Amino acid sequence: MVDYTDLGLVNTKDMFAKAIKGKYAIPGYNFNNMEQLQAIIRASVETESPVILQVSKGARNYANQTLLRYMAQGVVEYARELQKDGKVIPIALHLDHGMDFKICKSCIDMGFSSVMYDGSHHPFEKNIEISKQVVEYAHSQPHYVSVECELGVLAGVEDDVSAEKSHYTKPEEVIEFRNQTGCDSLAISIGTSHGANKFKPEQCTRNEEGILVPPPLRFDILEEIEKKLPGFPIVLHGSSSVPQEYVSIINSHGGALKDAVGIPESQLRKAIQYNVCKINIDSDGRLAMTAIVRKILAEKPSKFDPRKYLGPARDELCKMYAQKNHQVLGSAGHAWD
Ligand code: G3H
Ligand code: 13P
Ligand code: ZN
């Protein structure tokens, strides 16, 4: 059994309370490898932002769970080194989309400070039943582990998270769900979705340059939820913006991303004005890395040292996360709130 406080990590309770009060969102950035983790931490320290490091089941299988735990421990020390005055920005280690009690328990036992139980694929009662089981286990640890649950289904496809159609969260269900489960935060469905193709072209309009403009998020649902659960932490998944500059770099260097479209930054800023205090971003990191790697390998065919393409990809990622913390999430400067 590993206690997350021994790794220098924090849970998300305090982060969320401050974010709701300050009207900003904590970034939930996914990572699978060292370069992504370095970029996230460098950007978070540089922008003085709290951060949630997210690990999916796929990432856990890819990187190895034991290695991930030591990476998280190492990254706290790395953040301390970058900081120079001995302080460490608040860092949480979070399981993203835990699909059953077993994986949530396993992550808690390995030193995660926060887990998501995603029971959105279950009927309401079953979702409550398993969410409650995870919450009871997480909250009874020597140090409180936070639990995010999900109500409503996001559309979109990724390795382990897929749904053909979205089912928006029903505001009339949120009070009962929160009260019965005791969860610390709630992921909701208001029109975001996972991956780089968030909307079908027929759901969008096109601007003068022919670029797809997605439909707006369902702020009416978000507003209803805020009225039902005032001050309660709400989480937005599937919140990559799919920057078109990365999509065109990828496509002009041998890639084939068709009709890739994301959530405009202005929509995310607006969501934060309600109770959205955690925003999940994974695909944008994948796009930034792929764009730079493709470009370098195409332009410098003689390069074969991975540092020569992964290093610049890491720098681009760091720049992208810093821009998000400053200009989208508003978390920059809030590490010491
Ligand atoms: O929401 C899902 C995350 O983007 C993780 O995706 O299962 O491909 O690692 P993954
Ligand atoms: P994106 O695919 O939009 O980056 O969403 C990531 C996510 O929700 C992780 O849980
Ligand atoms: Zn997600």
pLDDT digits (tens, 9 = 90+) for 171-180: 999 999 999 9
Q: Report H helices in 265-305.
A: 265-272, 283-299
Q: How confident is the model at residue 162, as a pLDDT?
A: 57
Q: CA-CA distance, 147 to 287, in Å (whole number)?
A: 29
For residue 31, report the distance from its CA to the centre of ligand 3, in Å: 13
Residue 286 to residue 293: CA distance in whole angstroms: 11
Q: Is 315 exposed, middle or buried (0-12, 13-18, 19+ CB in 10 A)?
A: middle
Determine phi and psi for 183, rounding to 5 degrees. Answer: -65, 160
With 60 as the cut, is the pLDDT of residue 161 above it? no
Question: For residue 194, which atom of ligand 2 is closest to its CA?
Answer: 2
Q: Which of 6, 14, 96, 315 is catalytic?
A: 96
3-state secondary structure of 111: coil
Q: How far apart are CA 315 and CA 212, in angstroms?
A: 28
With b for 16 or more beta-carbon neighbours within 10 A and e for fewer, the 62-94 pattern comes to ebebeebbebbbebbebbbeeeeeeebbbbbbb
The helix/strand count (H/E) of the chain reads as 12, 13
Q: Where residue 69 falls among pLDDT bands split at 50, 70, 90? A: confident
Atom of ligand 2 nearest to the CA of 158: 2
Q: What is the mean predicted confidence (pLDDT) over 253-277?
A: 97
**pLDDT score of 84:** 82
Q: What is the pLDDT of residues 288-321, one digit of tens each?
A: 999 999 999 999 999 999 999 999 999 999 999 9
How many whole angstroms from 58 Cα to the centroid of ligand 1?
7
Mean local confidence (pLDDT), 123-139: 98
Q: According to the 3-state scheme, what is the secondary structure of 197-266?
A: ECCCHHHCEECCCCCEECCCCCHHHHHHHHHHCCCCCEEECCCCCCCHHHHHHHHCCCCCCCCCECCCHH
State the average pLDDT for the chain. Answer: 95
What are the extents of the domains in the chain?
4-329
Judge whether residue 256 has pLDDT over 90. yes
Instruction: State which of 282, 286, 290, 329 you would mutate to test the pocket of ligand 2, scoring each by most atoms of that ligand within 8 A of its C-beta.
Output: 282
Confidence of residue 212 (pLDDT cuts 50, 70, 90): confident
pLDDT of residue 158: 47
Q: What is the pLDDT of residue 210?
A: 83
d(CA 212, CA 234): 28
Range with the poorest average pLDDT among 139-153, 193-207, 214-228: 193-207
pLDDT band at 157, cuts 50/70/90?
Answer: low
Q: Using CB atoms within 10 Å of the CB of residue 140, give its burial: 0 to 12 exposed, 13 to 18 middle, 19+ buried.
A: exposed
Ligand closest to Cα of 238 equals 2
Using the predicted structure, report yes or no on whether residue 11 has a pLDDT greater than 80: yes
Q: Ligand 1, residues 40, 52, 62, 97: which to mutate, most atoms within 8 A of Cβ? A: 97
Ligand 2, pocket-test mutation among 161, 265, 283, most atoms within 8 A of CB: 283
Q: How confident is the model at residue 211 (pLDDT cuts 50, 70, 90)?
A: confident
Atom 5, ligand 2: residue with shortest CA distance:
238
CATH 3.40.50.300 fits 4-329, yes or no: no
> Residues near ligand 2 with C-beta < 6 Å?
30, 96-97, 194-195, 237-240, 280-284
β-bridge partners, 162: 157
Residue 152 region, left (φ>0) first, then alpha (ψ -120 to 50), else beta?
left
- Measured CA to CA, the distance from residue 138 to residue 183 in angstroms comes to 10
Residue 115, classed as helix, strand or coil, is: strand
Strands 212-213 and 205-206, bridge-based pairing: antiparallel
The residues that bridge with 193 in the sheet, in sequence order, are: 155
Query: Does residue 183 carry a pLDDT above 70?
Result: yes
In the annotation, is 96 catalytic? yes
For residue 183, what are its two tokens? 């969860």
Which pLDDT score, from 0 to 100, does residue 209 have? 84
Atom index in ligand 2 nearest the CA of residue 97 equals 10
For residue 200, the tally of other CB atoms under 10 A from its CB is 11
Q: Is the pTM of the predicted complex or chain greater than 0.85? A: yes
H or E stretch covering 108: helix 101-109
Residue nearest to atom 3 of ligand 2 (CA): 238
Cβ proximity of 15 and 21 under 8 Å: no
156 pLDDT band, cuts 50/70/90, is low
- Closest Cα to residue 51, out of 24, 22, 81, 85? 24
**DSSP strands (E only) in the chain:** 26-30, 51-56, 91-98, 114-117, 146-151, 155-157, 162-163, 185-188, 193-194, 205-206, 212-213, 234-236, 276-281
pLDDT of 160 strictly over 80: no
Res. 159: pLDDT tops 50: no
